[in-house]
């Protein structure tokens, strides 16, 4: 059966179903020319979590070798919470059959020394451009950089829940290490300070680093200013997501932002200010401090808010934000100001989407007149 829908439209439809396996399977059976697009999503990632799973995959790959080029990511994990060396080695051998493999994700703690891990992964090291460490425990902080530096083409590092058994003052690197061209570094965890401390004095200059993301950050538990001094000339895009501020006048992040001289894009997702009694409330009261600290000629700004009801908008300092966006020299080159408003389940059906967009525009009148304001409403 051949589809009469234009190929570009088919691609967009299937892209929207990227995380819906049942729908993708149905699309794969609908028309022969839909098959490549569905395979791109159905087989983009493979999870190696047991010896049995790896054996099954190897048998599958022998019977269907035409599927192997679609795999781009290998997730190495174990149901016990630890990845033993035997599973890691078997997974690495299986990865050798994937010609377009680009991403490796460790979804558990690795039950092997870093030198052993580096040796096991060395046959596929030249393939990997993205390394995702999720819940990974290193025996020592000195084991972090040797793993990073074992991938010569690494451009993206995602460190989520990385912890160390012991913390050393200096990073030791063996001979024959690489300086990977890392352009993106993402950090996420309550103990993210450990990783940030390592970025302050890395064993090689992060000369290519352009995108830096800190997710779920409590500034009171993280030292940021010294980090800014080491990456201030390279960072072009900075993202903070789910920031917990203990006081509306907290200067830690504004001081960090002020040192980034080449910043082009600033993204702030879901800022929470801690109120007396331990409760949190989303607010714009802290964001003006950050905007005032921007010294680089910013071009794109994105702010994501969560509201409980339409009156919640009135509790935010819109007029101050509007004034800063309009009058501050470093913000006059803005070409896009995106406000993402996420409504909670408590207000679904009670807020008209277009009315909410209009309401945000009315609260930022001067920014609206510049023609750079974009407002999007999402369901939380």
Q: Where are the domains of the chain?
A: 1-42, 46-379
Question: For helices 21-30 and 7-16, what crossing angle results, to 10°?
Answer: 160
Among 131, 121, 113, 118, which residue's Cα sits nearest to residue 90?
121
Q: Distance between alpha carbon 290 and the CA centroid of its chain, in Å?
A: 21
Q: With contact defined as beta carbons under 8 Å apart, do 97 and 69 qualify?
A: no
- β-strand pairing of 237-245 with 211-217: parallel
Handedness of CA 103, 109, 115, 120 (dihedral sign): negative
C-alpha span between 328 and 359 (Å, rounded): 24
Q: What is the pLDDT of residue 327?
A: 94
CB atoms within 10 A of CB 248: 16
For the domain made up of 46-379, give the CATH fold. Answer: 3.80.10
For residue range 143-194, list pLDDT tens digits in order. Answer: 888 889 899 999 999 988 887 776 665 555 655 577 899 999 998 865 555 6
Q: With contact defined as beta carbons under 8 Å apart, do 88 and 112 qualify?
A: yes
C-alpha span between 232 and 238 (Å, rounded): 11
C-alpha span between 304 and 326 (Å, rounded): 19
For residue range 260-281, list pLDDT tens digits in order. Answer: 999 999 999 887 766 665 555 6
| DSSP of 223-241 | --HHHHHHHTTT--EEEEE
List, in order, residues 6 or more apart from 281 with CB less than 8 Å away: 272, 273, 275, 315
Q: For residue 134, what is the enclosing H or E element?
A: strand 130-134
C-alpha span between 84 and 81 (Å, rounded): 10
Q: What is the pLDDT of residue 342?
A: 79
Q: With contact defined as beta carbons under 8 Å apart, do 362 and 316 qualify?
A: no
Q: Distance between alpha carbon 216 and the CA centroid of its chain, in Å?
A: 11
Q: What is the pLDDT of residue 41?
A: 59
Q: Which residues of the chain have pLDDT under 50?
A: 1-2, 347-349
């Amino acid at each position: 059966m051949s589809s009469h829908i234009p190929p570009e439209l088919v691609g967009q439809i299937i892209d929207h179903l990227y995380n819906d396996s049942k729908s993708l399977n149905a699309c794969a059976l609908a028309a022969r020319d839909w098959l490549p697009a569905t395979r791109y999503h159905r087989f983009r990632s493979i999870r190696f979590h047991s010896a049995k799973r790896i054996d099954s995959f190897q048998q599958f790959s022998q019977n269907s070798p035409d599927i192997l080029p679609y795999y781009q990511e290998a997730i190495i994990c174990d149901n016990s919470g630890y990845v033993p060396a035997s599973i890691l080695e078997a997974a690495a051998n299986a990865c050798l059959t994937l010609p377009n493999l680009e991403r490796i994700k460790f979804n558990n703690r690795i039950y092997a020394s870093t030198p052993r891990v580096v040796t096991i992964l060395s046959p596929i090291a030249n393939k990997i451009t993205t390394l995702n460490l999720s819940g990974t425990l290193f025996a020592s902080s000195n084991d972090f950089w040797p793993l990073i530096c074992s991938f010569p083409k690494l451009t993206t590092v995602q460190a989520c829940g990385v912890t160390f058994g012991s913390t050393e003052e200096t990073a030791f690197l063996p001979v024959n290490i690489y300086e990977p061209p890392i352009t993106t570094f993402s950090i996420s965890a309550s103990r993210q300070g450990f990783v940030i401390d390592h970025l302050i004095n890395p064993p090689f200059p992060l000369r290519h680093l352009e995108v830096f993301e800190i997710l779920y950050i409590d500034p009171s538990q993280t030292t940021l200013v010294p980090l800014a001094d080491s990456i201030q000339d390279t960072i072009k895009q900075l993202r903070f997501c789910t920031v917990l501020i203990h006081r509306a006048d907290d200067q830690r992040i504004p001081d960090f932002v002020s040192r980034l001289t080449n910043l082009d894009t600033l993204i702030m997702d879901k800022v929470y200010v801690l109120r007396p009694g331990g409760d949190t409330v989303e607010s714009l009261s802290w964001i003006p401090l950050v905007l005032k600290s921007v010294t680089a000629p910013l071009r794109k700004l994105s702010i994501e808010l969560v509201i409980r009801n339409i009156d919640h908008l009135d509790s935010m300092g819109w007029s101050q934000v509007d004034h800063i966006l309009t009058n501050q020299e470093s913000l006059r080159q803005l070409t896009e100001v995106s406000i993402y408003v996420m409504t909670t389940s408590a207000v679904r059906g009670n807020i008209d989407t277009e009315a909410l967009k209009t309401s945000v525009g009315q609260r930022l009148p001067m920014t609206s007149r510049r023609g750079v304001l974009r407002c999007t409403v999402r369901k939380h």
